[in-house]
Amino acid sequence: MSWPNDPVLVRTPATSANLGPGFDSLGLALSLFDDVEVAVTGEELSIEVDGEGAEVADRGERHLIVKVLRHTFDVLDELSAAEGAPIMGQPKGIRLRCRNRIPHSRGLGSSSAAIVAGIVAARALHPGGKLLGDEGAFRLATEHEGHPDNVAPCLAGGLTIAWTGAAGPRLVRLKSRVGHVIAFVPEQRLATERARGLLPETVPHGDAAANAGRAALLIAALTAGLDPTVLLDATEDRLHQDYRAPAMPDSAALVARLRAAGVPAVISGAGPTVLAFTTASQVDSMGPEVGNGWHEHPLDVATRGARVMAGEAQVRH
């Protein structure tokens, strides 16, 4: 059996994790997308990147999507062997074309989008792709990312709760009644590893208890469409945002200004992007609170996760 000749095009959404008190558990898919086209060829590896991450197009086999593709092909061969299905081996050549719109190192899940794109593309290309179900894809994505909070909404869409139990990573998808958000994206980047390095080993019991209550309230506020003042209370965090503030003082200050104006605002993921549960029209009237130096992205909650775009045009550069 041979590899398919036609490329596959995968679209993956941006994601925002934590959402304030839901540290390492809550995630939201957003309507900002990367498009990744993958084809198996008889030639050498070829990578083209347009937009965010263009500077890493020359990483070759070390490129994140390529590494995930290769690993997923190996996993699918193992599953195929167990089922007595054809084993494909690694293809000689891969042509990868990316149109990246998700800002890198800004807390909007760019690495999760890349990981998920590689897994979904590999499943679409490999004859044994159906042997890796959604739960298996989620486990594999979590293995690459290291934690499940961003890959969960990237795969499932909407609002997700992710956790790791005895059987490995799991997720629940919920329908969010909050449809619109604004992402305030700064120019500067912040590596997730640096942001995590600022967190303490322990936190006061009172702070942990407060966050548990706020996280529960946040789920209710997002899924039941509660009063906006409830959402403001529900997005209060004591576990990570203040500890990370020294690495992103402008973002922390913007969160404080927006919240003082009654807007439920949080650090998106590890930052430094700020996510506000509000509308573009409301933000237009809040110029003094927002200030300068931010790229404003009015976004919807993406109800669908990563998917193969059947019949769509190829990625063009």
In this predicted structure, what is the pLDDT of residue 42?
82
Q: Are 134 and 10 in contact (CB under 8 A)?
A: no
What H or E segment, with its residue span, contains residue 35?
strand 22-41
Name the average pLDDT for the chain.
92
In this predicted structure, what is the pLDDT of residue 316?
56
Choose among 143, 177, 135, 133: nearest CA to 158. Answer: 177
In this predicted structure, what is the pLDDT of residue 28?
97
Flag whether pLDDT at 114 surpasses 90.
yes
Binding residues for ATP: 103-113
- DSSP track, 65-86: HHHHHHHHHHHHHHHHHHHTPP
The more confidently predicted of residues 281 and 295 is: 295
The CATH number assigned to the domain with range 8-166+302-308 reads 3.30.230.10
Q: Where in the chain is the domain with CATH 3.30.70.890?
A: 180-300
pLDDT digits (tens, 9 = 90+) for 116-137: 999 999 999 999 999 999 999 9
In this predicted structure, what is the pLDDT of residue 180?
87
- DSSP track, 129-176: GGGS-HHHHHHHHHHHHSSSTTHHHHHH-SEEEEEEETTEEEEEEE--
Q: Where in the chain is the domain with CATH 3.30.230.10?
A: 8-166+302-308
Q: Which fold has domain 180-300?
A: Alpha-Beta Plaits (3.30.70)
pLDDT digits (tens, 9 = 90+) for 217-274: 999 999 997 777 899 999 999 999 999 999 999 999 999 999 998 999 999 999 999 9
The more confidently predicted of residues 304 and 191 is: 304
Q: CA-to-CA distance for 20 and 215, rounded, in angstroms?
A: 8
**Omega cis (within 30) before 272:** yes
Flag whether pLDDT at 314 surpasses 80.
no
Flag whether pLDDT at 317 surpasses 60.
no
Flag whether pLDDT at 113 surpasses 60.
yes
Q: Are 194 and 238 in contact (CB under 8 A)?
A: no
pLDDT digits (tens, 9 = 90+) for 73-83: 999 999 999 99
Backbone angles phi, psi at 49, to 5 degrees: -130, 130
Flag whether pLDDT at 39 surpasses 90.
yes
Binding residues: 103-113
Instruction: For residue 189, give Cα distances in angstroms to 59, 105, 172.
Output: 20, 5, 30
Whole-model pTM: value is 0.93
pLDDT, average across residues 208-220: 96
Q: CA-to-CA distance for 268 and 185, rounded, in angstroms?
A: 10
In this predicted structure, what is the pLDDT of residue 56?
82
Polymer length of the chain: 317
169 pairs with which residues across the strands? 164
